[in-house]
Amino acid sequence: MELTAGSKAPAFKAADQNNNTISLSDYSGQKVALFFYPEDDTPTCTIEACNLRDNYALLKKHGIVVIGVSPDEVDKHKKFEQKFDLPFTMLADPKHTMLNKYGVWGEKNLYGNKFMGVKRTTFLINEDGTIAHIIKGVRSKNHAQQILDAWKIKNQD
């Protein structure tokens, strides 16, 4: 079943970059921007992560918790975090458990080549655990603004 706005966000448990087990229930009562991306330290993924880093204080000010998810292992997430000074949680999903639950692991097509991979997608989860919005057309250079816009938050300091 495809997830849509209004659906209950699938529960998860996964290891973060510090090898701590994180679950969605840890963030009950908070807004969560759960962003799925293909791979640490690749050009587009780095642009997206750095845009979220650069706007992290603004997102946090509006009560938004940022969590990244990719199929990378814990140690690769740690290196990515340290290299780019990323302030948010990154979850390792090498077995594609979360990726499949959220429907973001699937066939992709790049220049006529078909392969399996992560479909870059962000799920905005309300305080009650329901999905408020799904961003499928992620703009890596402006992703924080997409998140604010989807939640209809004015970007005012």
Residues known to be catalytic: 45
Q: 3-state SS of the chain? A: CCCCCCCECCCCEEEECCCCEEEHHHHCCCEEEEEECCCCCCHHHHHHHHHHHHCHHHHHHCCEEEEEEECCCHHHHHHHHHHHCCCCEEEECCCCHHHHHCCCEEEEEECCEEEEEECCEEEEECCCCEEEEEECCCCHHHHHHHHHHHCCCCCCC
